[in-house]
Structure 1
Amino acid sequence: MPSARMAMSERFDAWIGIDWSGAKGRYSGIALAECRADGSGPRLIAPEGARWTRSAVADYLGGRIAAGERLLAGFDFAFGFPWIAGEGYLAKRVPHIADAFALWELIEQASDDAPDFHAGSLVTHPDFADSYWVSGKQKPDWRNDKRLTETECGAATSTYPETVFKLIGAKQVGKAALAGIRTLRAIRLAAPAHVAVWPFEDADKPTVLAEIYPTLFRRQALGSTAKIKDRATLDNALAALGSGPAQDAPASFSDHDGDALISAAGLRWLGRTGNLFTLPEEAEAQARREGWIVGV
């Protein structure tokens, strides 16, 4: 009988790392890379047009899912919001929202059908507005609420992942999360029998969508959180994750490409170590409500 580790390593046809963007209009921050089960190094996935958009990512993954491929797709954004005992989501303002998928539906409704899965007018919606810091100086009553996985990941990497409620400054992640959640929702609804979103659902369907934090893979591989932008550094990191060198990567590339490439290899490496879909026992209930970064 094959070991659990071997079974997990053979479970997927491809591991896909996705560096994300929540920007509006014309943007170029999305990158995709994949590793295959044969142990070869990751390769960048080129867009059909000039750049990846969120809609193009959803269509691309949907096509591969429809073709019967078994994929683990890791997305670099928060899959949910903080959930606080006695308050639920959004500081008691949505007591009828009891789980992550109901929260997704609220986000979709409040986004006012904005194109390309952008957040649209959500941040001015009465259910959401008071939670967000969108401009000017920080308001005295603004709460820097974070998910448990963000605090645990920060401790593991000596970094400080931002709250999804901060929509100002260079390190903001909230817009990416909002646009990403809308994208995930569309991918899941297009093929519900074939797609699971972990950890809101058990990872028991052919394709699994999971949350990643590329910094975690860089820290694991190189002991550093510095961005990877050149082939030599990347191949050293890949070797530490049991991967062959990157395929067809140029001598230098953007940090978005670097994050996608290291994430694809990192996901495959986690599968081989048996730590892909594990949750700390004491954190499981919280993770099922908020989401969890794989590998934390």
Structure 2
Amino acid sequence: MSGAPAFDEFIAIDWSGQAIARPPGLAVARAVPGRSAPRLVREGERWSRQQILDWLLDLAKAGRRALIGLDLSPAFPYLDQRGYFPGWRESPPDARALWERVDSICAADPHLAATSFVAHPVAGGHFRRHRLPSPFEGPGRFRLCEQRQFSHKLRPSSCFNLIGAAQVGKSSLTGMRVLHRLGGRIPVWPFDSVPEAGPVIVEIYTTIAARAGGVTGGSKVKDAVSLDKALGKLASNRHARLTSYTDHNTDAMITAAWMRIAAGETALWHPQGLEQVAQTEGWTFGAG
């Protein structure tokens, strides 16, 4: 792929690692080319992770030319210590093997949760967990693309942190289960090349989209006026009124609008340093 690919729709999925059937943090928004505002898919309904997996498989069957953003980390840091889990003989060698390992260990966990991986006697020891000694000092380990985000004054959280409001580890683990169960039916960039036709999945960080929409200071959009203001900065018309203005719904909508613009920026598909981590850590789309 030498330039920026073209898409017929832009889908942003706000994710959740909560170990329940229908986490309130799951939201799906879709935008189409032009200026029309993104719309929530199945607004007012609670998604399950399995439903989102099934919905993605339907998109794959239909062959829709969709850019699909998942708000989760598809892999753990690897480059910094030349491995995901140093000292574990079964530490996977690349992202696809990691997805398989996580899904296998968590096979008995309901709702595509990842409780068993966190509790694993060896792998689990690499996470910062409640009431247990921390395996690292400071904020933790970070992927190359996350280190790049720090240089742009963003504040990503380590995937190995499972404590506090900023913890993202369980979201990443549950997302890996979904990616494994997709079985390659939708390519995942940059582990796969962007196909000439059909859908492709990228990792998104909704804070990047929010910043582009003028939302600053870590604040969340939870009302119609603020949502329209952010959408306007992203070349989008005003939205149709929602039944609920949760930050999950608005994050998904703002990110879908941002993806519609960002997808055409060739440089975002060729970030410096990607070749070092394309098969192990992956990359956050937009973390230039």
CA separation in 2, counterparts of 1:184 and 1:124? 21
Deviation at 1:139, TM superposition (A): 2.9
Number of corresponding residues: 282
The one-letter code of the counterpart of 2:57 is G
Pairing 1:164-243 to 2, within 5 Å after superposition? 164-187=159-182, 189=183, 192=184, 194-204=185-195, 206-222=198-214, 224=216, 225-243=218-236
Pairing 1:3-152 to 2, within 5 Å after superposition? 4=3, 8=5, 11-26=6-21, 27-46=23-42, 50-84=45-79, 87-94=82-89, 97-136=92-131, 138-139=133-134, 141=136, 144-152=140-148
More helix by share: 1
Change (3 A) 1:138 1:259: farther
Could you tell me the TM-score, scaled by structure 1's length? 0.87
Contact (CA 8 Å) 2:99, 2:179: kept in 1 or not? Answer: no
Query: What value does the CA root-mean-square deviation take over the aligned residues?
Result: 2.4
Change (3 A) 1:113 1:72: farther
SS in 2 for 1:17: strand
Which runs of 5 or more structure 2 residues have no equivalent in the other structure? none
Contact (CA 8 Å) 2:88, 2:122: kept in 1 or not? Answer: yes
Change (3 A) 1:96 1:216: closer
Deviation at 1:287, TM superposition (A): 4.1
Change (3 A) 1:279 1:237: same
The one-letter code of the counterpart of 1:103 is L
Change (3 A) 1:127 1:249: farther
SS in 1 for 2:248: helix
Could you tell me the TM-score, scaled by structure 2's length? 0.89
Q: Deviations over 1:21-48 (max 9, x none)?
A: 111124211011000123321011116x
Change (3 A) 1:206 1:137: same
Work out the percentage of aligned pairs sharing the same amino acid.
34
Which runs of 5 or more structure 1 residues have no equivalent in the other structure? none
